[in-house]
Amino acid sequence: MIQLTQTVQKGGCAAKVSATELRKILAQVQFPPNDQNVLVDGGLFDDAAIYKITEDLALVQTLDFFTPIVDSPRYFGEVAAANALSDVYAMGGEPKTALAILAFPLATMESQVIVEVLQGASDKIKEAGANFVGGHSIDDDTLKFGLSVTGVIHPQKVWSNSQAQVGDDLILTKSLGTGTICAGLKKQTYKESELSEVISSMSTLNRIRDLLNAEQLAAIHSATDITGFGLAGHGYQMASASRKTFRLYSSQVPMFSLAMTSLQAGNLTKAHRTNAHYVESNARFKITDPLRRQIFFDPQTSGGLLLAVNPRHTNEILKKLSQRFRTAAKIGEVVDSQDTSLVIEE
């Protein structure tokens, strides 16, 4: 049986262009001016774009694709779909339509592989209550798959990454460690059958609106999802966009049971290094354990949401989130801007 991770050099969100390099590239591009209905664009590295249609309706638009992060085609489809849909959830929206982006090596893989990938994605899109409406495919040397997703949201209820407030608690909905553990899978240190906890998390939709009431939803001021740039990278972007400092507590950050063991074994990706470089002048670490530092740089695939929440509602929101996200936890708080965007405590 084919093992998809053995067909590519890099897998999942660890294959993203480094944030530092991406910023250099984008700085050289002259983008056309936006019209007045563009409420959120890519300027602050938010998770999706927001375009206002009426006073009560706006579109949420995003696109995400990558190479295989797991070995089984159906699991790959599920994870890729959950990862793409997550961008809409991170903005507070609800996905409505999805288009597939597919690159497939026709000469070296059986068509049944892509049937399974598409079926896994289709199942997740159905679970999200969205519609799978088409896509585009090319013949390529390596398998790549993802979705372009359009959702809807009220223009006044967007969770951008720029609205965190001083005093907010920071909640993370999923455990960390997919980068190092899936690197171990690619090295064949682990078997896919040993990673049910990780695969289940990656394929879990970051859907939370259905768990919370209107007051609890309004208590969420800002959000982002944690993917290829790691908790440190995405946390830095959210703190910087909000012009605040995030104080994170290492001891409170949820991790998969294999995460520290895998880091100790040296299962790293290029993204661990580039993520560390990205935040080196914007994060102050007060922890001495190098492995504890590495977990903040670990590139997540279909990771959790990082939410900035009114502290009066933290406990009740966590209680509701735990129905779907067993390891959801408060991991820090938002404070006035300091000399760095992130302060990471023991």
Give the residue numbers marked as catalytic. Answer: 13
Q: Any idea of the CA torsion for 189, 193, 194, 199, to the nearest 10 degrees?
A: 100
| Strands 245-249 and 329-335, bridge-based pairing | antiparallel
Q: Measure Cα distances from 120 to 75, 127, 176, 213 in Å.
A: 6, 11, 23, 30
| Strands 57-66 and 94-104, bridge-based pairing | unpaired
**CB-based contacts of 237, cutoff 8 Å, min separation 6:** 19, 44, 45, 161, 224, 229
Task: Provide the 10 A C-beta neighbour count for residue 343.
Answer: 19
**CA triplet 13, 271, 113: central angle to 5 degrees?**
35
Name beta bridge partners: 172: 306, 329
Instruction: Dig out the tokens for 286 from the structure.
Output: 């007060």
Sign of CA dihedral 17, 19, 23, 26: positive
